[in-house]
Amino acid sequence: MNSRTDPDLISFFRAALLNPLEIGAIAPSSRLLAKSIASLIDPDDSGSIIELGSGTGVITDALIERGISSKRLILIEIDKSFLAKLTNRFPDAFCISESAYRLDVIRERYHIEPAAVIVSCLPLLLRSLLERQQFMGAVTRALKPGGTLVQFSYGIRAPIPGSRSLVIYSNPKRIWLNIPPATIWVYRKSLNEP
């Protein structure tokens, strides 16, 4: 059974119409996509998990179902109506109302230590290559050595190229039963990178 309610879907479609470049999707992420993302994260690993663009919380739900404590979660969402719902649904998570593209500023403002994992739901392919490269730098700084970035996109090419400090770690996984079909990319930060 789908845990998202009709009000969640209505909120999503309203937000997508009002702010298409921030939402970047025509429908919320499917449960299959969310579970596939969560399956890539070790619940026994230590450290925080930052979710960028948490939306309606479908991926957050999957992370918790995977056995990840909500106390480890830092949810960053620009849409205030989504954030209010996330705050109510996940009271133990640290919820921040801000553009996730300002990750460096957010980390400094809230004194957020490097994370074990970053899950990015951001529509990177709607941004310029320069913006994506800047995002890659911010993500690299936000991860602890050996940390993981899990990014999904609707394209078939990597939304951000790998680099010496943040490499594409595994083959992309295509989720056909998502609207539109999505590809999951996993990046790993070098153990030698501070």
Nearest CA-CA partner of 168 in 158, 177, 176: 158
In a domain, 147, yes or no: yes
Please state, in angstroms and rounded to a whole number, the distance separating the CA atoms of residues 135 and 143: 12
Beta strands in the chain (DSSP E): 49-52, 73-76, 94-96, 115-120, 143-153, 166-168, 173-175, 182-189
Please state, in angstroms and rounded to a whole number, the distance separating the CA atoms of residues 151 and 191: 20
pLDDT of residue 118: 98
Confidence of residue 66 (pLDDT cuts 50, 70, 90): very high
Chain mean pLDDT for the chain: 86
Per-residue pLDDT tens digits for 86-109? 999 999 999 999 999 999 999 999
pLDDT of residue 11: 53
Task: Enter the pTM of the model.
Answer: 0.85
Q: Is the dihedral of CA 192, 108, 66, 168 positive or negative?
A: negative
What is the CATH number for 88?
Answer: 3.40.50.150
In a domain, 194, yes or no: no
Question: Does 124 score more than 80 pLDDT?
Answer: yes
Range of the domain at 86: 6-189
Question: Does 20 score more than 90 pLDDT?
Answer: no
In a domain, 21, yes or no: yes
Q: What share of the chain is helix, strand, coil (3-state, %, to 5)?
A: 40, 20, 40
pLDDT of residue 5: 52
Q: How many domains does the chain fold into?
A: 1
In a domain, 83, yes or no: yes
Which residue in the block uniquely carries the two structure tokens 């609707």? 154
Question: Does 14 score more than 70 pLDDT?
Answer: no
